Amino acid sequence: MTLIRISPPEFDVDLALAYATADNMTGTPIYRHAACWLHSDAAAALARAILLARELDLKFRIFDAYRPVEAQWKLWNHNPDPDFLADPRRGSPHSRGVAIDLTLVRRADSTALEMGTPFDDFSARAFHNCASLAPGIRRNRYLLLGLMASAGWDHYLNEWWHYQLYNPRTFPLLWDSAARTGMMAD
């Protein structure tokens, strides 16, 4: 399987890879080396979404994309909640290279649009359809949803930031050693 490295300038995105830092739900880096990778089909869908966002003077900030199976186990061991994390025995769309976690930022100054919760918020406020959020926040989430859906992405109802290709389980799981990304290597 072919993974494509997602980085500027080839992809006009901001990278804020949460699991390569301690600024994530575990409080410790999960990845040893920061890198953003996607399956070639997902990279093509991201490229389409980038063009759509650019028309609105927006771009994407990526929190996570391909997540090696080893990393999924680390997250699961920290918080084994199937409402927010895929059980690694079943496999995550991230571990197949066909999922991405992201938000929208203004192109002019890279200011993130308000989404109502931070990335990896495990509460009902993170749900796409959380009705208790202010209309402006819901509008931003719907904008993100519309851009991603128009480019060929499906969404996960419990996480406003998570998108994946349709039928993600048709893609094989990838351990870092097989993907050769070096994300988990010393």
Using CA atoms, how far residue 82 sits from 50, 85, 89, 158, in Å, is 30, 5, 12, 11
- Residue 86 domain-assigned (yes or no): yes
- Strand (E) or helix (H) holding 1: none
Identify the band that residue 160 occupies on the pLDDT scale cut at 50, 70 and 90: very high
- CA dist 177 and 182 (Å) reads 8
Q: Domain limits at 124?
A: 3-179
Of all residues in the chain, the percent with pLDDT exceeding 70 is 99
Tell me, what's the pLDDT at 1? 65
Number of domains in the chain: 1
- Residue 54 domain-assigned (yes or no): yes
At 66, which CATH number? 3.30.1380.10
- Residue 53 domain-assigned (yes or no): yes
Tell me, what's the pLDDT at 114? 98
Around 171, how many Cα atoms within 13 Å sit in the side-chain half-sphere?
Answer: 25
The 10s digit of each residue's pLDDT in 64-122 is 999 999 999 999 999 998 888 899 999 999 999 999 999 999 999 999 999 999 999 99
Coil, strand or helix: which one is 16? coil
Residues marked as catalytic: 159
Tell me, what's the pLDDT at 186? 61
pTM of the model: 0.95
Using only C-alpha atoms, what is the Rg of the chain?
A: 15
- Residue 185 domain-assigned (yes or no): no
Residue 53 has pLDDT above 80, yes or no: yes
Tell me, what's the pLDDT at 174? 94
- Residue 175 domain-assigned (yes or no): yes
